[in-house]
Amino acid sequence: MKLRKSLLLGTAFLAGVAALPASGLITRALGPSLGIPPALAQDAGAGNADTYRLLSLFGDVFERVKADYVDPVSSKTLVYNALNGMLSGLDPHSDYMDPNQYNDMQVQTRGAFGGLGLEVTEDQGFIKVVTPIDGTPASKAGIKPGDLIVALDGKTVEGLSLNDAVNRMRGAPGSQITLTIKRENVNNPIVVTLTREVIHVQIVHQNLFGNVGYIRLAEFDETASSGIRKAVESLRDQAHGHISGYILDLRNNPGGLLDQAVAVANDFMTQGEIVSTRGRHADDDQRWDATPGQDIIGQAPLVVLVNDGTASAAEIVSGALQDNRRAIILGTRTFGKGSVQTVIPLPGDNGAIRLTTARYYTPSGRSIQGLGIMPDVKVDETATAEPSFGPEHESDLNNTLSNTGGVPATAGPPPRTDLPPIVKEIPSKPPAGWPAYDPDKPSTDFQLQQALKLVQAIAAQNTATTR
């Protein structure tokens, strides 16, 4: 099982952070309440009197729960719960990871983990499937994006945190778990029993449609850029070098590692800014630029497919390619997660915190936080909007960050003048009678078919210009 918010956007792990260990803080500030010798509980000073009072309040509640809760509860459980509450109350993407969760996250970013092969998020008390990963137990069982997991082994998930639910779905390879699922437009519960496996994620898939190379990137783990490069080489070999253009499919890509977002954008650019980040401290602000001469597809036409499941690192790539006029973005508005999380290991093998430390900005200075990337060519997946049980965009979540620090929300890159004439002929919705989407039949994917038409038109236009 994979926790979606683990990989929405991360930076390199920070080691050796100069910070007071949590135990030292509790000793100094909560000593009187926790029975710690008074000599170790020194007053924090007049300037921190309010902080000291609130920490003392925490100590009072801690002791009351320890003494009077209906069942005995360990100090570790209480502190872990408090840490998670402290961080998750800040924004949807900050949280505390206990040692097991931290280890799982490290394994996930390397592209292999144990479980069912699901990407999930929390949705009004239930667990919502973002996407099943191809070839995994979840995918083979027919679980679909948007499914709500309402029970695990017959017990409701209501009242469980996302972390707790994910932990229950993990387990030893070969063991089984039964999921009860609520699916849209299906009245009866769907009950499936899955056998856990070690999940080896293949995040890059490629195909050749005529003379157009198609590359789907499922997420941004440590293998993203290298996988893209291998896919391009494979497509060239398959087409004997005769490729007129490429499609990069970032639909339902929840994001991942910041350095891989930069690397993937760099794979298709020869110059220009990729992304910048700005945090609380100006000294930590950063900017990444493309490496001259880097474009691995030699400036061939490029169309990027996006939808409301395109988030974070995937939005960085989309924004960089759009602002630099390197690709045409086709699809629907993206998720709108414009923040960066830093994973900070805690001393003493106490796990790590994932803390929102910066907002990121596209090359034109836009913050897409809560707004997303607007496609250059809007094409819906279906003729009519499909109802959704939960949030479709970052702005639908609670405690979201504000959109600040960039150019005005109404600004951004100037209107594009480089779009080919065929754009005016591309319909925004499938026509009546368009077949229902079947993942095994690319001809039913309306957005993909319009992207193919667009790439071929750009290639033909370029050929006519050079004659």
Catalytic residues, by residue number, are 312, 323, 337
The rounded Cα 453 to chain-centroid distance in angstroms is 29
Candidates 58, 50, 95, 96; CA nearest to 75 is 58
Q: Identify the residue whose tokens are 């710690």.
A: 36
**In degrees, to the nearest 5, what angle opens at C-alpha 249 toward C-alphas 205 and 268?**
95
Q: Residues 76, 79, 85, 91: what is their CA dihedral angle, to the nearest 10 degrees?
A: -100
Bridge partners of 286, per DSSP, are 277
Candidates 354, 351, 353; CA nearest to 102 is 351
The rounded Cα 375 to chain-centroid distance in angstroms is 19
Burial pattern 237-261, b for ≥16 Cβ within 10 A else e, equals eeeeeebbbbbbbbbbbbbbbbbbb
Contact (CB, 8 A) for 187 and 176? no
Q: End-to-end alpha-carbon separation of the chain, Å?
A: 54
Distance CA 12, CA 36 (A): 37
Q: Which long-range contacts (CB under 8 A, 24 or more apart) does 63-69 make?
A: 63/33, 63/34
Burial pattern 41-56, b for ≥16 Cβ within 10 A else e, equals beeeeeeeeeebeebb
| Residues 6 or more apart whose Cβ sits within 8 Å of residue 360 | 9, 258, 275, 276, 277, 278, 316, 338, 339, 340, 367
The rounded Cα 183 to chain-centroid distance in angstroms is 23
Q: Are strands 377-378 and 328-331 parallel, antiparallel or unpaired?
A: parallel
